[in-house]
Amino acid sequence: MNFQEKVNEFCTKFNIDSAIEFKTLDLVSEVGEFSKEILKATDYGKEKITPSEDMVLEMGDVFYSLIAIANELDINLNDALDIVLKKYESRINNKGDPGSE
């Protein structure tokens, strides 16, 4: 079972559903919480980062939220990743880095 199927099964089992707008806000919130853990762990960029259990949990929340959105929109994340990696490869080959133009 892939991760998208796993999240879909979990949401179905526990009757978890919300509007796409709420799922998107949840993703943004979770990214913020993950960012806060990075800032705390590095003392706002002053220290070398050491991954923590809180970072793992927050990353899991980000991943879950992203998957829930992809499932709602019927987007295959493996396909989306393949597309974006090709885009970045093209940018690297054309201009030397993956940044947007």
Domain range summary for the chain, segments of one domain joined by +:
3-95
Please answer whether residues 76 and 66 qualify as being in contact, where contact means their C-beta atoms are separated by less than 8 angstroms.
no
Cut 0.95: pTM above it: no
Structural domain 3-95, CATH architecture: Orthogonal Bundle (1.10)
Report CA-CA distances (Å) from 74 to 19, 55, 61.
Answer: 14, 28, 20
Reduced 3-state DSSP string for the chain: CCHHHHHHHHHHHCCCCCCHHHHHHHHHHHHHHHHHHHHHHCCCCCCCCCCCHHHHHHHHHHHHHHHHHHHHHCCCHHHHHHHHHHHHHHHHHHHCCCCCC
At 37-88, the pLDDT tens digits run 999 999 999 999 999 999 999 999 999 999 999 999 999 999 999 999 999 9
pLDDT at 3: 96
